[in-house]
Amino acid sequence: MKNSASNPLEGTPKDFAPYGIYNSTGQLLKGNILFGQYTELATQLDTKRSAFYLKSKEYGNEVILGCSLSVKTDNGREERIVFIQVYKNLHSENRVNSDIQLLKQFSDIQSLKQLYEGVESEVERLDLKKYRLVGLWDEKDFINIREIQINDDVLEYTAGKILAGRKVSVKVSDLSSGLSLIIRLIERLRYRYTFSVDVSQYPSETEVSISLMKPNPDFEIGENGKYRKSSESELWDFYKDLSKEPLKDKTSHSKGSQTQSDFISPVVNKILNDSLHYRSPSDLVLNEFEDKEKVEIFQGLVKKPADISNSIIKKVLLDIYNKIESPECKKDLYKVLISNNVYIEGPIKDLIIGIYKEHDEDLFNLLFSNTSLEKSSLNNLGGRRAQNSLKNSKYKSFKEEIKKALELFEYSDKISFLKFIAAEAPPKPKDEGRILLGTLIEDLVSIKKNDFVLKLSEDEAENLDQIQGTDYLKTKKTLKQGKKSRNIRIIFYTSALFIIIITASYFYIYLAPSLFLYLEKAFDYLLSIFS
């Protein structure tokens, strides 16, 4: 028997790569010490009663096969054991081709029967304990496996869902249906990416879990391959279409394991293609993805500026934004927008409001703090070019969104916002921060001219002068002096008025009664004359 994995397909099916045999508790009965690392997997396969487990990872660097078996000892006692075989560290230059050739070993039902015959031979040659193979789920079921016709719709849906990084659950009526589906999937998936599949009595956590007992499956396969889908029709069609994305270059597979971006890329491409036909993904489709994945989809869409003007793409972007609940993911989305100079309605307004209400340092820095590279670039531009950059048309929509946000602020809120920015902003902020500050000041001036300057501390006014190239500190002192002079005049006139009021009051209280008595006597005298 060969123990090298360099060319696993030479010879008969009994020329196996290294393997391990375990009892139901995960104890290694046969195999070198390296197979100790698969103890947990062995226990899992036994618990799930896995008839066929396959995991291909790192594009051929490692392929793991496994199955759980029912056996009998010489005394007739029935036990369960697990068989695990590993193809590992294939030559890097032939890694992809070796992987493909290896998986071709499972091109039809007959090849699977040969695999199980080989497993049977190895199990019955155990030195530690004599076993006779009974079957996978039932007695001699591995001999009675038959090929079932699998509908292409099922394959396309499953392939598309795996391509999007989603798990697929399938309920089958018998072992033959599950293994027939596995064969067709391996044939379809082997050129694309890493994957894991499992045909078992009980549901597993593999990317494709095919089992007899599966609550809420994506679809069911009954007798003679007839299927019944449980997934929503819209989701079914979405994943079917996704499976038709062009194949990647095989050579790229040798670069390492698949990343989340590999999953997101085909989703982005489909959305872009659908937008050309005035179609966009529904809430049902977007709900399939977690917040982090939504941000990645968003990022993939905004990286192509020509597509942002498309009304369908704008709608998708807003739909994605409105569905993100995680505050951290929202921050990531804001970063995507600002770094790509994309200022769509809604998110930018929320960003401005968030900076004011929460004084969030990360959001504030997103608009105001330059990286060392950006600072160097700004210094090289010079003041005039830096100011001219603010007139760039790419910032027009950004400024409009700031205005919409400021409409929701009271005057006192705007003053507080200005004081916060003036206290925290660096002397040379990013263009976005400079535009926010300039727009806020324009708004304040339009309401009460330069009165806002009096609300600033001298340090705040001085910092604004450094940022904006203005003379707010001088203006503040001038306005303050003018206000002081006005206050003195007000005090003088108020004092004079007070004196007048006191004098009039004295006259009324002390002199007016005597005058009134004199006039009364004079009037009586005149009456006496005429009478």
Contact between 325 and 291 under an 8 Å Cβ cutoff? The reply is yes
Work out the pLDDT band at 455, boundaries 50, 70, 90: confident
Q: Tell me the mean pLDDT in the region 320-341.
A: 93
Question: What share of the chain has pLDDT > 70, as a percent?
Answer: 73
β-strands 78-88, 19-23 pairing: antiparallel
Calculate the average pLDDT of the chain: 80
Work out the pLDDT band at 366, boundaries 50, 70, 90: very high
Q: Indicate whether 386 pLDDT > 50.
A: no
Query: Residue 4: its pLDDT value, please?
Result: 37
Query: Residue 507: its pLDDT value, please?
Result: 60
Work out the pLDDT band at 157, boundaries 50, 70, 90: very high
Query: Residue 259: its pLDDT value, please?
Result: 54
Q: Rounded distance, CA 276 to CA 462, Å?
A: 52
Query: Residue 96: its pLDDT value, please?
Result: 43
Contact between 162 and 208 under an 8 Å Cβ cutoff? The reply is yes
Q: Tell me the mean pLDDT in the region 261-274.
A: 83
Contacts of 284 (CB under 8 A, 6+ apart): 232, 234, 235
Closest CA to 364 of 376, 354, 373, 378: 354
- pLDDT tens digits for range 459-469: 888 888 888 88
Q: Rounded distance, CA 188 to CA 193, Å?
A: 10
Q: Indicate whether 262 pLDDT > 90.
A: no
DSSP 8-state assignment for residue 258 = P
Work out the pLDDT band at 376, boundaries 50, 70, 90: very low
Q: What string of DSSP letters covers 151-190?
A: -HHHHHHHHHHHHTT--EEEEESSHHHHHHHHHHHHHHHT
Residues forming beta bridges with residue 55, ordered by sequence position: 64, 196
pTM attached to this predicted model: 0.75
Q: Rounded distance, CA 331 to CA 337, Å?
A: 10
| Residue 86, CA distances (Å) to 15, 38, 460, 465 in order | 13, 10, 68, 69
- pLDDT, greater one: 378 or 18: 18
Contact between 391 and 431 under an 8 Å Cβ cutoff? The reply is no
Q: Tell me the mean pLDDT in the region 377-398.
A: 56
Q: Where are the domains of the chain?
A: 19-238, 262-322, 343-372+389-470, 485-530
Compute the Cα dihedral for 29, 34, 35, 37 and give only its sign.
Answer: positive
- pLDDT tens digits for range 467-487: 888 877 777 667 565 555 455
Work out the pLDDT band at 531, boundaries 50, 70, 90: low
- pLDDT, greater one: 9 or 53: 53
Q: Indicate whether 416 pLDDT > 90.
A: yes
- Candidate from 68-82, 179-193, 239-253 with smallest mean pLDDT: 239-253
Query: Residue 94: its pLDDT value, please?
Result: 42
DSSP 8-state assignment for residue 93 = G
- pLDDT, greater one: 214 or 149: 149
Work out the pLDDT band at 491, boundaries 50, 70, 90: low
Q: Tell me the mean pLDDT in the region 271-295.
A: 87
